[in-house]
């Protein structure tokens, strides 16, 4: 028994010495690991994509379409082998069109889900509310809101996988010049998106010498805008600039026409959303909007551009219904832009992806994204369309026939 105890104590002491020795020689940092070991770490496992969009409320059809598009892209990427050998897992949250809910959602993604990248929200104010949190966490966020302001805060982990309203508004102003218009009235929604878009348009008009005769606003969800529309019609401007999310635009267009405004209404891509024509009916004729593509209403072929037709067909096949919102295209492009940046950087580390993003050029559904222009922006060109006899027509083609 004494020999056994002595042997046992000797073994314990030996193990203690080994353990102490291990502490004296810390494991090498990741960058010092052998290349074969690094390559092994780079493959396998999952990439967590966090999504925050409005999945309930008036904007739910837009947010849900975006969420669906992320899942569709993830499925297609996974079937093609993933990103750097890793499969994508999507984690979705309802931001309820609220900055407070957006902050809660993003915090949970980062702290509980430990996501590698975030896509959302369609509400620019919700993105702006989360900017500092994402920047501190060093996790890339591809924001699908179009207001220029949230990328003017100096954040370096935030990127926009779509066109911001500055460029679509600029295209609208250039359309005014082509049509010989010298005066405008503006009609906007009282949220971050509408107010920023209106301020942006006013600044561009001043630069181009176009006079704003009157401005009116509405609260999202308002049903009676009679007084605002009467004031705008009475101002006698050459055209109206209108900006709001697609769930508010149909009523705004319809009431503006009912209030006596029978001239061109100019805006950005939400004016081309199918629900605007569906709800506003003939009142939608004469809408002019800047956009990267046409939203099909009944069949994918209406989109015209083959790659975009393919996306809408894939969406229809996957979900059994036509895609209801252009937000889906933004989210779909976001996923493949992230894939391109991660593969360019050779890592899903947030900082590595961020750095690679600024060198990424990607041919997306909306156009050629080139993030080397800086400030998180990648797309600067927009087409101009006009709704004529309830059809979306390129503005150049329409003007050629006048």
State if pTM tops 0.85: no
| 202 backbone dihedrals φ, ψ, rounded to 5° | -60, -40
Count the Cβ atoms, other than its own, within 10 Å of residue 153.
13
Cα torsion 350, 352, 353, 357: sign: positive
Mean pLDDT per block of 10 residues along the chain (402 residues) reads 39 37 36 38 81 96 97 98 98 97 98 98 96 98 94 97 88 88 97 89 94 97 95 98 93 97 93 90 94 90 93 98 96 98 98 98 96 95 90 90 88
3-class state of residue 293 by DSSP: coil
pLDDT at 135: 98
Q: Minimal CA–CA distance to 250: which of 222, 279, 228?
A: 279
Residue 323, phi-psi category: left (phi > 0), alpha (psi -120 to 50), beta (remainder): beta
- Cβ atoms of 357 and 371 within 8 Å: the answer is yes
Q: What is the pLDDT of residues 290-346, one digit of tens each?
A: 888 889 989 999 998 899 999 999 999 999 999 999 999 999 999 999 999 999 999
Domains of the chain plus CATH, in order, are: 45-163+304-366 (3.40.50.2300), 166-291+383-400 (3.40.50.2300)
- d(CA 55, CA 67) in angstroms, rounded, equals 8
- Cβ atoms of 237 and 214 within 8 Å: the answer is yes
- d(CA 379, CA 161) in angstroms, rounded, equals 8
Alpha helix stretches (DSSP H) within 302-384: 306-319, 327-345, 350-357
Q: What is the pLDDT of residues 100-141, one digit of tens each?
A: 999 999 999 999 999 999 999 999 999 999 999 999 999 999
pLDDT at 7: 38
pLDDT at 42: 53
Sheet bearing 391-394, strands edge to edge: 211-218, 183-189, 239-243, 265-267, 287-291, 383-388, 391-394
């Amino acid at each position: 028994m004494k020999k056994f105890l002595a042997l046992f104590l000797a073994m314990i002491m030996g193990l203690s010495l080994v353990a102490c020795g291990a502490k004296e020689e810390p494991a090498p940092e990741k960058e010092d690991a052998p290349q074969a070991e690094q390559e092994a770490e780079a493959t396998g496992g999952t990439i967590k994509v966090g999504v925050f969009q409005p999945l309930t409320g008036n904007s739910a059809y837009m947010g849900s379409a975006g969420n669906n598009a992320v899942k569709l892209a993830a499925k297609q990427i996974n079937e093609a082998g993933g990103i750097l050998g890793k499969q994508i897992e999507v984690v979705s949250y309802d931001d309820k069109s609220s900055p407070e809910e957006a902050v809660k959602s993003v915090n949970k993604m980062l702290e509980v889900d430990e996501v590698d990248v975030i896509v959302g929200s369609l509400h620019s104010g919700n993105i702006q509310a989360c900017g500092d949190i994402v920047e501190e966490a060093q996790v890339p966020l591809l924001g699908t809101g179009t207001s220029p302001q949230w990328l003017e805060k100096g954040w370096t982990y935030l990127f926009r996988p779509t066109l911001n309203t500055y460029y679509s508004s600029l295209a609208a102003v250039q359309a005014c010049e082509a049509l010989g218009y010298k005066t405008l009235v503006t009609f906007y929604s009282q949220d971050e998106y509408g107010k920023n878009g209106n301020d942006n348009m006013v600044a561009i008009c001043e630069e181009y010498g176009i006079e704003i005769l009157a401005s009116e606003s509405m609260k999202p969800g308002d049903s009676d805008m009679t007084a605002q529309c009467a004031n705008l019609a009475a101002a006698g401007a050459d055209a109206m600039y209108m900006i709001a999310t697609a769930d508010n635009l149909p009523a705004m267009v319809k009431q503006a026409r009912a209030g006596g405004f029978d001239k061109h209404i100019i805006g950005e891509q939400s004016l081309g959303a199918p629900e605007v024509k569906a709800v506003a009916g003939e009142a939608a004729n004469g809408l002019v909007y800047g956009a990267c593509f046409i939203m099909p209403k009944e069949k994918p072929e209406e989109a015209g551009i083959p790659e975009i037709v393919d996306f809408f067909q894939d969406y229809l096949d996957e979900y059994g219904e036509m895609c209801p919102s252009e937000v889906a295209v933004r989210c779909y492009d976001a996923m493949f832009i992230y894939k391109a940046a991660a593969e360019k950087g050779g890592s899903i580390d947030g900082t590595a992806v961020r750095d690679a993003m600024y060198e990424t050029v990607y041919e997306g559904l909306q156009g050629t994204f080139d993030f080397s222009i800086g400030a998180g922006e990648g797309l600067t060109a927009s087409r101009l369309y006009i709704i004529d006899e309830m059809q979306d027509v390129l503005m150049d083609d329409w003007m050629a026939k006048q």
